[in-house]
Amino acid sequence: MITARDAGLVACRSCASVWPQDQATCGRCGARLQSRDTGSLQRVWAWWAAGVICYIPANATPMLITRTLVTKQDNTIVGGAVEIAKHGDVLIALVVLVASVMIPVGKFLAIAYLALTLRRGTVQSAHGRQVLYEVVDFIGRWSMIDVFVVAILSALVQLSVVASIRPGPAALTFALSVIFTMLSAQSFDSRLIWDEAQLDGPDTPLPDLDTEPAAPRPDQPQGETS
Amino acid sequence: MQQPTLQDAPGPTRDSDGAELIACPSCDAIYRVQVPPKGGKAVCARCKTVLIRPRRKAGLRIIALTLAITILVTAAVFFPFLEIHAAGMGNRTSLLDIATSFRSGILVLVSVSTVSMIVLIPLLRTALLLYVLVPVVFDRPPARHAREAFRLSQVIKPWAMTEIFAIGCAVALVKISDLARLDFGPAFWMFCLLVVIVVVNDAYMCTWSVWKSLEDRA
Ligand SMILES: [Zn+2]
Ligand SMILES: [Zn+2]
């Protein structure tokens, strides 16, 4: 196994093709070529800080303002979950807490961990950190669900005096926090995780790509092509 | 590898015997390309990232599914698909109402990003994919700027959040169940279908194969 950089080449992260090291743009897809994204960590930390800063007011100010005939209620994210739990829906309350507190906080910690261990090293394997990165990258978008719920409720619950729901300022700061955290994760160049790993020297022959055949399906004869 | 051949032709670098190379975008390992059989996949031996995953009739299927997504999103924009009733009063709402529900002051920014994430970006992405894939699938030369279009469609992919929005609908229903009675309009079920199609469509898409065919036909 050998990396494109060790072979004196540069890989395109957008289309996976391989080019001479001094080439600036990919000839197949037109993307900018960079053997390692040198500005990656600065951008990761900048977006990360922006995300954390927005996450604080997102928790301190109300997300939903509910008015009914008799009550007016400002709910923060955690307050809303507690409210749901008091109604007896403990499971739903847990889902809300996981989605709006555990996942964002977990993402902040995970990104910080991945960025810090690049410099300091770690006992955790590169593969373990790659998996962690993929999980963070995948799960980031799902935090937007809270903002969408607020949008749905504010549009739907407009029953004049009987009940109405309005979004609070936390809707904006929470949305920004999610967007900034997504940008932070996207800025991370995962190839940096693998760089310390010991590899074969640059003179080893290149391996063939491993291929796996399709899982056999009983309803289809093997070898059929289209 | 002995000497990476720097050919005169402006193609990608090949191995010394002319074999095509592929690099893993996640860990930078390089391999000689072996295209797996249809339905199979090629995986990076170092980090297990799936690099090539060709599917039978993928092009036609993606085009059909992408068309379906375009129609469904457009329909959900205008047709009301959620409805509530409480104390004799009712309200129904379409995707457009929801996306523009943050009306006061600075919260308009949230409206703008919601509209983008659940309507504009998904529709832009389907338009780009159709523009790129239709000529390729019907054996025509690629459309002008097809490379830029396909690259843009890949960049905006994480920001198209239709499936997340659909789960959001379900959560919203639970949240107001003690406040009001809630009905689904027919478009709500259309929307559930949309989520399934989005997920299946992404499973069919092998970016390496698309880039390869764009290059081969150029
Ligand atoms: Zn490229
Ligand atoms: Zn890899």
Which CATH number goes with the domain that contains A163?
1.20.140
Q: State whether residue B114 is helix, strand or coil.
A: helix
What is the average pLDDT across B86-93? 73
pLDDT at B1 over 60: no
Query: Nearest Cβ partner of A182 from B97, B118, B158?
Result: B158
The answer to whether residues B37 and B123 belong to one domain is no
The answer to whether residues B140 and B211 belong to one domain is yes
Residues of A in contact with B38 (CB under 8 A): 214, 225-226
**A216 vs B126, more confident:** B126
pLDDT in tens, A76-114: 888 888 887 887 778 878 877 888 889 999 999 999 999
Minimum Cα–Cα distance from B82: chain A residue: A156
Q: Which alpha helices (DSSP H) does B9-105 contain, by range?
A: 58-78, 95-99
pLDDT in tens, A117-137: 887 777 778 889 999 999 999
A85 domain residue, yes or no: yes
Instruction: Take residue B45 and report the two structure tokens written for it.
Output: 């031996």
Q: What is the mean pLDDT of chain A?
A: 85
Residues of A in contact with B43 (CB under 8 A): 210, 212
**A225 vs A186, more confident:** A186
* Residues, CB-to-ion distance under 5 Å, ligand 2: B 24, 26-27, 29, 44, 46-47, 49
What was the pLDDT predicted at A217?
A: 58
Q: How far is CA B115 from CA A56, A146, B112, in A?
A: 25, 15, 5
The answer to whether residues B45 and B76 belong to one domain is no
The answer to whether residues B68 and B176 belong to one domain is yes
Q: Collect all residues with Cβ–Cβ distance below 8 Å to A42 and sequence separation of at least 6.
A: none
Q: Which of residues B54, B74, B94 is at a domain's end?
A: B54
The answer to whether residues B6 and B80 belong to one domain is no
Q: From ligand 2's centre to the CA of B200, what distance in Å?
A: 24
Q: What is the mean pLDDT of chain B?
A: 83
Query: Nearest Cβ partner of B36 from A18, A20, A213?
Result: A213
Residues of A in contact with B106 (CB under 8 A): 169, 172
The region of weakest confidence among A46-60, A159-173, A196-210 is A196-210
Q: From ligand 2's centre to the CA of A191, what distance in Å?
A: 8
pLDDT at B127 over 80: yes
pLDDT at A175 over 90: yes
The answer to whether residues A10 and A76 belong to one domain is no
The answer to whether residues B50 and B151 belong to one domain is no
What is the average pLDDT across B109-120? 87
A179 domain residue, yes or no: yes
Domain limits at A13? Answer: 1-35
Hey, are the CB atoms on A159 and B87 less than 8 Å from each other? Answer: yes
**A6 vs B5, more confident:** A6
The answer to whether residues B110 and B142 belong to one domain is yes
pLDDT at A5 over 80: yes
Query: Nearest Cβ partner of B13 from A15, A19, A144?
Result: A19
pLDDT in tens, A145-159: 888 888 888 888 776
Contact A68, A162 (CB under 8 A): yes
Domain limits at B83? Answer: 58-217
What was the pLDDT predicted at A48?
A: 97
The answer to whether residues A175 and A93 belong to one domain is yes
Q: How far is B42 from chain A (nearest CA, A)?
A: 4
Label residue B4 by pLDDT band (50, 70, 90).
very low
A94 domain residue, yes or no: yes
Indicate which CATH number applies to the domain containing B79. Answer: 1.20.140
pLDDT at A191 over 60: yes
Q: How far apart are alpha carbons A119 and A140 in whole angstroms?
A: 24
Hey, are the CB atoms on B110 and A9 less than 8 Å from each other? Answer: no
A79 domain residue, yes or no: yes
pLDDT at B132 over 90: yes
Give the start-end residues of each E strand in chain A: 9-11, 18-20, 64-68, 72-75, 158-159, 163-167, 210-212
Q: How far is CA A170 from CA A105, B101, B107, in A?
A: 16, 15, 9
Of residues A13, A31, A183, A179, the one with CA closest to residue B152:
A31
pLDDT at B20 over 80: yes
Substitution target in B22, B55, B100, B110 with the highest count of A β-carbons within 10 Å is B110
What was the pLDDT predicted at B10?
A: 66
**A121 vs B47, more confident:** B47
The region of weakest confidence among B29-38, B76-85, B87-96, B178-187 is B178-187
Hey, are the CB atoms on B211 and A17 less than 8 Å from each other? Answer: yes
Domains of chain A: total: 2
* Percent of chain A clearing pLDDT 90 (strictly above): 35
